[in-house]
């Protein structure tokens, strides 16, 4: 099953016998403290207009735990996550489609969590809300309670030690902007740079100007150019495990399984004992 769905295919699926549950995960990385602007309010954006029947999911509160030693967006408490999914009407036998405002990061985080915890049928709306040509609604739906119970997989998740090991034995991709990878700037975390051995692979290069993913063949060629080989282990990290989920999604579109280091650079760089590499060279 493809990990993404087009707006036209979604419109058809919503008219079918087993329509998907829709989750709205509009979210943006907050730079309010630095810019002086108010933080983005995904819930307000949702109330202003969303796909018919979609339920809002709060990334910071329901798809992550509070910031701390494990990073800025550590794994959520699974009881909280499961309750949020059931409240939204998610059941194990019902397909789910997740969307956001177009960047794809928030939607990818929900997609990754649902897949990692055992849901068999989850897709991301390619291009997000801007790709939708149908009507929007402002009423808040009250779906029937779902039955989904998260059951984490034994694979697909990396901790700091696992990420370091993968950088030596396989391919560890850094999904952040190149200047952060190189250590030229670091607007959020304690120090700039990257995990030694990691390869710079900005997730923004996986999509076109319209926010939609590049074709699977082009994505595959891109990742092969970054050193990804058939059957070799692949891992991804970013700043806090959000844009990294989007890169894992891009890899899935290309048919390449990958693990996610959820703590990512926000966890790695917080420990001064962990090594930091700078510059364009992985090591």
Question: What order do you get walking across the sheet with 122-125 strand by strand?
Answer: 4-5, 122-125, 96-99, 21-24, 55-56
Please count the residues of the chain: 283
The residues, ordered by sequence, that sit 6+ positions from 47 with a Cβ below 8 Å of its Cβ are 138, 140
Cβ 174 vs Cβ 166: under 8 Å = no
Q: Which of 264, 250, 236, 3 is nearest to 120 (CA)?
A: 3
Q: Where are the beta strands (DSSP E) in the chain?
A: 4-5, 21-24, 55-56, 96-99, 122-125, 157-158, 171-174, 199-200, 234-237, 259-261
* Catalytic residue status for 224: no
Residue 132 in tokens: 């939708």
Instruction: Choose, from 114, 163, 167, 238, the residue flagged as catalytic.
Output: 238
The C-alpha angle with vertex 260 and arms to 189 and 218, in degrees rounded to 5, equals 105
**Whole-number Å distance between alpha carbons of 138 and 70:** 36
Among 43, 64, 56, which residue's Cα sits nearest to residue 143? 56
Report the catalytic residues.
Answer: 238
């Amino acid at each position: 099953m493809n990990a993404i769905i087009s707006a036209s295919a979604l419109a058809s699926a919503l008219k079918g016998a087993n329509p998907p549950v829709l989750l709205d995960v509009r979210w943006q990385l907050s730079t309010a403290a630095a810019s002086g602007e108010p933080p983005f309010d995904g819930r307000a954006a949702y109330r202003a207009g969303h796909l018919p029947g979609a339920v809002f999911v709060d990334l910071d509160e329901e798809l992550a735990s509070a910031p701390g030693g494990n990073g800025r967006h550590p794994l959520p408490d699974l009881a909280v996550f499961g309750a949020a999914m059931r409240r939204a009407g998610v059941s194990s036998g019902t397909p789910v489609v997740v969307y956001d405002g177009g960047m794809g990061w928030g939607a990818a985080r929900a997609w990754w969590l649902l897949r990692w915890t055992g849901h068999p049928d989850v897709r991301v709306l390619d291009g997000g809300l801007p790709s939708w040509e149908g009507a929007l609604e402002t009423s808040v739906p009250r779906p029937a309670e779902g039955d989904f119970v998260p059951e984490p997989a034994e694979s697909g998740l990396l901790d700091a030690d696992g990420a370091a090991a993968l950088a030596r034995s396989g391919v560890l991709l850094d999904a952040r902007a190149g200047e952060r990878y190189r250590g030229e700037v670091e607007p959020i975390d304690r120090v700039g740079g990257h995990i030694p051995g990691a390869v710079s692979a900005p997730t923004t290069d996986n999509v076109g100007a319209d926010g939609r993913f590049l074709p699977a063949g082009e994505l595959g060629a891109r990742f092969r150019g970054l050193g990804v080989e058939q059957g070799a282990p692949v891992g991804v990290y970013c700043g806090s495990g959000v844009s990294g989920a989007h890169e894992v999604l891009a890899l899935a579109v290309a048919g390449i399984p990958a693990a996610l280091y959820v703590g990512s650079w926000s966890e790695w760089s917080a420990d001064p004992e962990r090594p930091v590499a700078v510059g364009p060279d992985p090591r």
